[in-house]
Structure 1
């Protein structure tokens, strides 16, 4: 039976993160994860996690100048100091809330210089994360939602992981992004199993709840379960209305 994590970057965004954690617990999720929790003191988030008993699986590094259209810093040549400050900040926050992983966001960039910057920043992130036993994640984002994002495919991610050569660098396999870019999800999951650190999901193509669209999620969840994957799967979908009104899919597993 699969377990599920609520991604509070999309779910229960109508309330502070600490309250969203309580809502996820009440709904029956076994874990939570988030995007950019930095507006709320880490101690408040840690208290909510302690009160509910939910683990925080992971969080993202800051995107940079969001108003200016940035979506990550670590593949931007010449921005290494900012990228590493964002990595340090994320790891510090993760330590307080007990998050086991940090997703290092690449940003909009391309070419050899961007590749070199990303590799060096990932090596830095992995070295820092290893000191507290944490994982670093990288995630391909599809070209429809994030045109120009440096990391777009699982093949590119696998090559980067091999090049960086760190034991604690893993792939965030988002079924939504991979479904939109590559398809053939179960074959890719099996092929990439040894480098996957976390799995997320949403419907394709609208990124809604996993109860409609191109992907048969009940079947896919059963196949992931059969692979022996025991970690919670991240529900990272856009509800489009009150989150509680989109959870019929979860009830089937409770």
Structure 2
């Protein structure tokens, strides 16, 4: 099997300025990258030059202090603006996907707000995949979207082909467990997979998640996308890349 790994520059090389993280990812042999919201705060010509043709798997909308706003009361216009800005950046950089962050709230009405924003986004940019990510309470207490099942229910109500789930194995394990079973159940709705060490969120070869078992199983099930490397390295990124080299 062959595997495509995307360096998540919201986590990797955080000690470096954003443009230097892109250079570091390329130097470390990553053929793909993904961002948080750094590109919205950086000159796009400079980002394009730094990328030098490296494909961008996806970017986040503006995160801010609330980790997004798409489910928050009174923030509807802000969410629309942030989605539009992310679409502009994604198109400028050839980004394939935009992650729409919900924000932190326990308001049940957040479901309908999130559905409305995703429906608007999907209509605004049918050429882009919009992702929602269930984030475990252990990582971001109070984040609106916390389980794959909650995300799947929302996507079914949105009913758009270009709205998918970001399946982060670390968060799925922390929030619910049964990572492979949940992957199989929701595969038609999964648009991107991210990996990190189970419980530790360090390199993928550390912790409870067995990626030499999971990644082939994901591909056997029909997943053909990249694996986003969103983890906190225990030392330097380069020192810890033995896990990736074992796959490649």
Q: TM-score band, normalised by the shorter chain?
A: over 0.9
- Cα-to-partner distance string for 1:177-218 (whole Å, 9 max, x where unaligned): 001111111111111111100000101112110111111111
Q: Is the 8 A contact 2:61 2:101 kept in 1?
A: yes
Q: Is the 8 A contact 1:30 1:232 kept in 2?
A: no
Q: Which residue of 2 aligns with 1:22?
A: 23
**Offset, 1:127:** 1.3
Query: Secondary structure at 1:203's aligned position in 2?
Result: coil
Query: Secondary structure at 2:205's aligned position in 1?
Result: coil
Aligned residue pair count: 246
CA distance in 2, matches of 1:112, 1:144: 20
CA distance in 1, matches of 2:174, 2:28: 29
- Cα-to-partner distance string for 1:65-96 (whole Å, 9 max, x where unaligned): x2xxx111010011111111111111111111
Unaligned runs of 5+ in 1: none
TM-score (ref. length: structure 2): 0.95
When the two chains are superposed, the root-mean-square deviation of aligned CA atoms in Å is 1.3
Unaligned runs of 5+ in 2: none
Q: Is the 8 A contact 1:75 1:118 kept in 2?
A: yes
What is the correspondence of 1:152-171 to structure 2 with a 5 Å cutoff? Answer: 152-171=146-165
- Cα-to-partner distance string for 1:9-37 (whole Å, 9 max, x where unaligned): 00112223332222212222221001111
Query: Secondary structure at 1:252's aligned position in 2?
Result: helix
Query: Secondary structure at 2:165's aligned position in 1?
Result: strand
**Offset, 1:102:** 0.4
Q: Which residue of 2 aligns with 1:39?
A: 41
Q: Which residue of 1 aligns with 2:87?
A: 91
TM-score (ref. length: structure 1): 0.93
Query: Secondary structure at 1:206's aligned position in 2?
Result: coil
CA distance in 2, matches of 1:183, 1:112: 24
